[in-house]
Structure 1
Amino acid sequence: MSNKKLLLLSTGGTIASVVSEEGLVPKESGETLIKRLEKLPYDIDIKDILQLDSSNIQPEEWRTIAENIYDARNDYDGIVLSHGTDTMAYTASMLTFMLQKINIPVVLTGSQVPINVVLSDAPDNLRLAFAASATCKPGIYLAFDRKVMLGCRSVKVRTINFNAFESVNYPVVAQVTSDGLVFNEEAKIPSHDGKTVLNTEIDPHVAVIKLFPGFDPNLLYAMVNNGCQGIVIEGYGLGGMNFIRRNIVAVIGDLIKKGIPVIATSQCLYERSDLTRYEVGRLALLEGAISACDMTTESAVTKLMWALGQSMDVKEIAQFFETNIAGEVTL
C-alpha cells in the first residue's frame, strides 16, 4: 500500500519562531520543521505561504490560507497547516465556513515552544497532525497535545501549558494512547455530499461584547455608528441580559429593527446558552436576539462574519445560525 500523500502549509507562529532582540519571531521554514522530525511514513510536500505571528493573522490571511487549501485539495490525501496558537481556533472556525464540504482532512497545529528548543512540544504536535491528516474523515481539525479536535469546537484555554486547547461542548475526535491514535465513537463527524465550496467573502465589521454589571448599552449604538455590522454579546449564564436601568434588551431590539444582527451567547465556556429559561433571556429573544446555542465565541464570530459577507439580512442570519454546517453547533 502506497504512503499517503500529504501537504504541509506553513504560516509561522511560535512553532517556527527563533529568539531575536525583539522577542520570538517566526523565521523557520516548513522544510526546517520537517527536518526536525524523524522520518514519517508519508509522502510530504511543503509550501510556505505566510511567516507571521498568529496575532497578525487576519481576514486577508484567512483568504490566502483557504485558497491554498482549496487549490491543493485534489492533489493530496490530507493537509497540515502549521499556525500560531493565539488565533488558531479563529482560523479553524473560519476555514469551516470558507471551505464547506471540504473533501479531505485539514489539520491545524502549532506549539507552545519553538521547535528548535530541546523540550519543545512541536515535534509531537506535528507528528499527531500528520497522522490525523492521513486518517481522519474529511473536515477541519485542530491537533494539539495528543488530542484531535473538531476545528470549530476548539478553544485556546491556557497560555503556557502544553495542554493549550480544549474541545468545548463536543467530544474529542481522537487521542493518542498506547494503542496509537484512537478515535472516539461519540464524536460524530458530520458527513456531506457534493463538491467543496470555496467562499471567502466575509465582513469583519463585527464586535464581541462581554457583558458586565454597569455596561452602558448606548456603547452599542456608538459601535454601529462607526461601522459595526453585527454584534456577538456574551451574556450571563444561559445568556441573560439586564433590562433594569441600563436596558440592553431594548437596545438590542432597536438595533435588530435597524438590520444589525445581535448574537447571544454565554460568557461561560461550557454548556449552552438558552434564552428561553429566564425572563432576562426571554425578553432578549422576543426582541430578536439570535441564540448561538452551544457554539464557541470563535465560531459565533466567524460564522457571523461569513454570513454578513453573503449579504444575509437579520432573518437569514437567524436561519443560518439554526443550521449546523460542520458540527459547530448542537441544535
Structure 2
Amino acid sequence: MRKILILTTGGTIASRPAGKGLEPEAGATMVRAAVDALKPACEVDIQPIAQLDGSDVQPEEWQAFARAVIEACPDYDGIVITHGTDTLAYTAAMLSYMLRACPIPVVFTGAQAPLSRPLSDGSENLRCALAMAQSQKPGVFVAFDRKVILGTRAVKVRTTGFDAFKSVNYPYVGEVNARGLVLNAHLPKRPSQLFSPELRLCKRVFLIKLIPGFNPDVVDLLASLGYKGVVIEAFGAGGMHVIRRDLTDSLERLTRQGIPAVVCSQCLYEHSDLNLYKPGQLALEKGAIPGYDMTTEAAVTKLMWALGQEADLEAVRKIFATNFAGEATLPQAGESR
C-alpha cells in the first residue's frame, strides 16, 4: 500500500462561511473527513502547513511549500497539496522549477466550492489527485475536474465553473474515465539527474499586458524602481508599437542595464514568434527574450526563478532557451520563433 501525504494550505476547498465571506479553516478537519469518505487504496497522512486564501499565496509561500515537499519526499510515494485556485497555477509552475527532478509525484488540487457544501467538487478533485499521487510518475501536476495537467501548463480559465483549469499548448497528461485514471504518453520521463532543489528566487519581476497606445515610459519607470525583470504580454505572435510609441527602444535600454525582458503572447493558445513580423524582429534585435508558447504563469515564475539563480542577463537568456519542466516548446533546427 502506497503512502501519500496531503499538505493543506487553505483555499476554497477547506473554507467555511464567515463574517466577510468564505475563509479557510484552521487545521485539516474537512479534508480529513473527505479523504476518509473516499476510502482510498493508500495510506494517507495530512499535514496543515498554511491557512490562506489563494489570493494571499506569494513568493514566500512558494519557498515554504517547496521546503515542506523536500522534507517529506523521502518518506512518501506521492504528495498532494490542496491550494486556493486563484494562484494555484503560479504555485504549480514555480514548484515545477524549484523541485526539478523530484522523484515522486507532487499534485496540486483545490475546489471551486468548499467541501462543506453538499455539491462541492472538492471530493472528486481529491480523488483524482490521490490517484495521480499513487502513479509513481515523477513531476509536478494539477488535478482538477477529472483531468491531470502538467504543472507548467495549467491556467485558470473560469471563476465558478468546475472545469476551472485548462492545459494550455500541451495535452492533458491524464484523464479519468470508466477505466480509472488513464495517463498518456506525454508524461515527463523519470529524471536522470539527482534531486537538487533550487529555491532561490527574485520577487522584483513585473508583468505588462500591452494595450493600444501603451506608453513605453512605464518600462523605463520599472527600471528606476528597482525591478530586475519584465514579462511583456505582446499582441498576437509578439507584436508591439514601433511608431509614435516605440517600445523596442525601451527594451534596448533594459538590455543595456542587464534587465531581461521576456516577450510572450496575450493569446492563450499557440506560440509566439518574434521573427514573424517586423516589430517582433526589432524587439529581438533590441534584446527581447522569446517566451515561445509559455503560459503567463510559467513565464513569470520562470523569470523569478531564473533571476534567483543567475543575475547575469545572458545566463537568464540561456535558462529561457532551455525547457526545464515541459514549460516551453522550443523551436527545432531551421524553425524561426
Equivalent residue for 2:274?
Answer: 275
Kindly indicate whether the alpha-carbon contact (under 8 Å) linking 1:190 and 1:326 is maintained by their aligned counterparts in 2: no
Equivalent residue for 1:257?
Answer: 256
Once the two structures are TM-superposed, the CA of residue 192 in structure 1 deviates from its matched residue by 1.9
Equivalent residue for 1:177?
Answer: 177
**What is the distance in 1 between the residues matched to 2:292 and 2:193?**
27
Equivalent residue for 1:122?
Answer: 122
SS of residue paired to 2:74: coil
Equivalent residue for 1:83?
Answer: 83
> Compared with structure 1, are the counterparts of its residues 289 and 323 closer, same or farther at alpha carbon in structure 2 (3 Å cutoff)?
same
Kindly indicate whether the alpha-carbon contact (under 8 Å) linking 1:190 and 1:327 is maintained by their aligned counterparts in 2: no
**What is the distance in 1 between the residues matched to 2:115 and 2:65?**
22
Once the two structures are TM-superposed, the CA of residue 81 in structure 1 deviates from its matched residue by 0.2
Once superposed, what is the RMSD of the aligned Cα atoms?
1.0
**What is the distance in 2 between the residues matched to 1:146 and 1:99?**
24
Write the deviation string for residues 176-222 of structure 1: whole angstroms up to 9, x where unpaired.
1111111122x242442122122211001010000011100001111
State yes or no: 1:132 paired with 2:132.
yes
Which 5+ residue runs of structure 1 have no aligned equivalent?
Answer: none
Q: Identity across aligned pairs (percent)? A: 49
Once the two structures are TM-superposed, the CA of residue 242 in structure 1 deviates from its matched residue by 1.1
Equivalent residue for 2:334?
Answer: none
Q: How do 1:55-66 and structure 2 match up within 5 A?
A: 55-66=55-66
Q: How do 1:215-230 and structure 2 match up within 5 A?
A: 215-230=214-229
Equivalent residue for 2:240?
Answer: 241
Equivalent residue for 2:213?
Answer: 214
State yes or no: 1:25 paired with 2:11.
no
Write the deviation string for residues 109-133 of structure 1: whole angstroms up to 9, x where unpaired.
0000000100000000001000000
Equivalent residue for 1:7?
Answer: 5
Equivalent residue for 1:112?
Answer: 112
Write the deviation string for residues 265-289 of structure 1: whole angstroms up to 9, x where unpaired.
0000000010011101101011110
Once the two structures are TM-superposed, the CA of residue 28 in structure 1 deviates from its matched residue by 5.1
Moved more, 235-244 or 30-39: 30-39
SS of residue paired to 1:64: helix
State yes or no: 1:303 paired with 2:302.
yes
Q: Which amino acid in structure 1 is aligned with residue 54 of structure 2?
A: S
Q: Which amino acid in structure 2 is aligned with residue 105 of structure 1?
A: P
> Compared with structure 1, are the counterparts of its residues 189 and 180 closer, same or farther at alpha carbon in structure 2 (3 Å cutoff)?
same
Equivalent residue for 2:71?
Answer: 71
Once the two structures are TM-superposed, the CA of residue 224 in structure 1 deviates from its matched residue by 1.3
Equivalent residue for 1:35?
Answer: 33
**What is the distance in 2 between the residues matched to 1:61 and 1:318?**
26
**What is the distance in 1 between the residues matched to 2:201 and 2:187?**
28
Kindly indicate whether the alpha-carbon contact (under 8 Å) linking 1:92 and 1:140 is maintained by their aligned counterparts in 2: yes
Moved more, 15-24 or 25-34: 25-34
Write the deviation string for residues 83-115 of structure 1: whole angstroms up to 9, x where unpaired.
000000000000011111111000000000000
**What is the distance in 2 between the residues matched to 1:330 and 1:155?**
17
Kindly indicate whether the alpha-carbon contact (under 8 Å) linking 1:101 and 1:192 is maintained by their aligned counterparts in 2: yes
Q: Which amino acid in structure 2 is aligned with residue 295 of structure 1?
A: M
SS of residue paired to 2:244: coil
Q: Which amino acid in structure 2 is aligned with residue 204 of structure 1?
A: K
Kindly indicate whether the alpha-carbon contact (under 8 Å) linking 1:54 and 1:83 is maintained by their aligned counterparts in 2: yes
SS of residue paired to 1:34: helix
Q: Which amino acid in structure 2 is aligned with residue 247 of structure 1?
A: D
**What is the distance in 2 between the residues matched to 1:190 and 1:41?**
25
Moved more, 30-39 or 162-171: 30-39
Q: Which amino acid in structure 2 is aligned with residue 315 of structure 1?
A: E
**What is the distance in 2 between the residues matched to 1:274 and 1:253?**
19
Kindly indicate whether the alpha-carbon contact (under 8 Å) linking 1:217 and 1:247 is maintained by their aligned counterparts in 2: yes
Which 5+ residue runs of structure 2 have no aligned equivalent?
Answer: 331-337
Kindly indicate whether the alpha-carbon contact (under 8 Å) linking 1:201 and 1:310 is maintained by their aligned counterparts in 2: yes
Equivalent residue for 1:54?
Answer: 54
Normalised to the residue count of structure 2, the TM-score between the two structures is 0.95
**What is the distance in 1 between the residues matched to 2:187 and 2:8?**
29
Tell me the number of residue pairs that the alignment of Structure 1 and Structure 2 aligns.
328
Equivalent residue for 1:284?
Answer: 283
Once the two structures are TM-superposed, the CA of residue 136 in structure 1 deviates from its matched residue by 4.9
Off by >6 Å, runs of 4+ in structure 1: none
SS of residue paired to 1:300: helix
Once the two structures are TM-superposed, the CA of residue 30 in structure 1 deviates from its matched residue by 2.6
**What is the distance in 2 between the residues matched to 1:40 and 1:178?**
17
Normalised to the residue count of structure 1, the TM-score between the two structures is 0.97
Once the two structures are TM-superposed, the CA of residue 311 in structure 1 deviates from its matched residue by 2.9
